[in-house]
Amino acid sequence: MTAVMTVTQTRHASIGIVQPRYATWLDPLPLDSGAALGPVTLAYETYGELNAARDNAILLLHALSGDAHAAGYHSSGDRKPGWWDDMIGPGRPFDTERYFVICSNVLGGCKGSTGPSSTNPLTGRPYGAHFPVLTIGDMVRAQARLIDSLGIDQLHAVAGGSMGGFQALEWAISYPERVGKVVLLATSARSSTQTIAWNAIGRRAIMSDPRWRGGNYYDGEPPVDGLAVARMIGHITYLSEPSLERKFGRALQHSDAPAFSLEQEFAIESYLEYQGTSFNARFDANSYLYITKAMDYWDLPGRFGSLDAAFRNTSTAFMLISFTSDWLYPTSESLAIADALRRLRRPVEHIELESNAGHDAFLVDYEQQREPIVAFLNR
């Protein structure tokens, strides 16, 4: 299977119009739970050209609410480009004049890859809650099939932030011979108890919505209230208190004086309401349940006994970037990974960048990341 990309006139320095692609395998994919899933489809996009040696490919791995659309536009009418557009393109860190950049929607997602909203071949209806529970390892196993189908034996690099970092680490652990470099941003080798707690609250919000109907809501109204609350909770964990204070403070939305009402008054309330509503327009509630559960199971030191044991079979070069205001995956999590790699004398560098953007810094504070990533990829 070959990847196809259409690029038109550059718009806002973007790579232009890109075309989503789909790869499907009939052979069941074995899952860590012991179950198997098939057929499996992964949606993906590519940017740049694969060279004759097939050694210039970089796999980008998205976070919880991301998808395969990492850069460019799907049409001239799109208001926003892909989720990492500022980092991908000619002359950018993931330079499409040098690299063949790939991004796929994770298994369990809702943007073209097989997930709970996909048709169960045994019933002819959406899987819903009958979809098998996944792990990060299952997601990466599916991605390895995609890389195989593109005729790529070894990736120049894998890169991802947050849950994308989980996947990048899984690539380094499970396929060490296939990965040259690993870029990790705002991530961790395990989901902390606090992270699991936030995810559990989000899942409870969805499953408590009467419209969830045990996950079988595809023939009716979806659990929009539950998913909106889950998104509102999750979104707050991606930000920092200084950024919220600077952007919203205690400002009232429509007046200068309190209304002494239970209705929404503060600007931050309106902002969170918007986040919940817009998320419903682009994400499936069941996918949110399954992906957050996969994140909760993520635990490299628990799986191998220690981080040192987890990294023992990899000689891959690592770059870790953390951010000062990220309290969801703080710098201490990156240091734990870096320290383990140093004890094993593996090539690793860690940079902590100043930012008030919280966990979302890797998606919005591009300027500070550019130079160190370029230097690392070129080394």
Catalytic entry in 67, 326, 355, 360: 326
**8 A C-beta contact, residue 72 and residue 7:** yes
Classify 330 in phi/psi space as left (phi over 0), alpha (psi -120 to 50) or beta.
beta
Active site residue 256: no
Indicate the residue type of 199: N
| Residue 340 burial (CB count, 10 A) | 21
Which pair of structure tokens corresponds to residue 198?
């936030």
Is 55 tagged catalytic?
A: no
* Catalytic, out of 69, 350, 359, 360: 359
Catalytic (active site) residue 350: no
Query: Looking at 162, 191, 240, 325, which residue is catalytic?
Result: 162
Query: Beta partners for 159?
Result: 60, 183
Structure tokens at 226: 């539950």
In the chain, the DSSP E strands lie at: 21-25, 29-30, 36-37, 40-47, 57-61, 100-104, 119-120, 125-126, 155-161, 179-185, 317-323, 348-353
User: Which region holds residue 277: left if phi is over 0, alpha if psi is between -120 and 50, else beta?
Assistant: alpha
Which residues does the annotation mark as catalytic? 162, 326, 359
